[in-house]
Structure 1
């Protein structure tokens, strides 16, 4: 277990802040830790009646390319319940409301340097609504069947949270229907 000795906030942004802490390790040595403090997030697997999953495609500046992802977003509204955040993000990004929700669980995305805890949901009974992306966001929205999801996985066009969300929701994007090669 590491014990915090002291630290400082070195950056505060719109979504997160960065802290640099000095810690004492179990053996008495000191080390520096840089941590991204994040309010948490949600990810939603919107599943249509035919089993297709609705994904959103957006350009990710940090990696210099567009990726297909499950709708997701930051818990940036103080006091908003986690499921309310998920409902809001599904409508904003994908343009759907859902009649049925199931909470799948939570996972730390990059615990080596951030405390972001993402809560995962499956949403079914989808009804289209008007999407309202944030002013700095732009999305393409498309449903994908299982075979198309497997193709996307193979091309690197899915991000890690999406692969985790799909697996957690029981969508097997890993098995090649032709077997091992």
Structure 2
């Protein structure tokens, strides 16, 4: 299957943290699209995992995204896969839809670690952030070269819906308007 299978999906939200976000280029857009993904995942029962990098230094997840209905993994490694508990929270049959910051550091290293571990990964380009646009674009190209599918928030929403007859269709459309 070339489209994102909602029955096998898991949403991974990487390091949208309070002390980091003010420095992120187009950070408001990345947060808004991550919120849409989180809300959509809730509508169609897709599990969500959050990571926080060095929370003592970078703060907790921004208030706009914080929710209690997800698993949170604290980490010090840039690549979340290197954290002992991470792969246990991400079943091997899941396709990972990834959003986060910074695209060229923790997102990229985690995505490359997931691909190296044999996982299918979809990187949501309009829900990524870096301090510099050049770093973000370079990271996207690198992740794609190594096997990540590059998608947008709207692509994810419609692939998770699969059909206009989906019972949550109207609610999903409201998220992207």
Query: TM class by shorter-chain length?
Result: under 0.3
State the TM-score, normalized to the length of structure 1.
0.23
Give the structure with higher Rg (CA): 1
Q: Which has the higher contact order (CA 8 A, sep 6+)?
A: 2
More strand by share: 1
Identify the structure with the greater helix proportion: 2
TM-score, with structure 2 as normaliser: 0.23
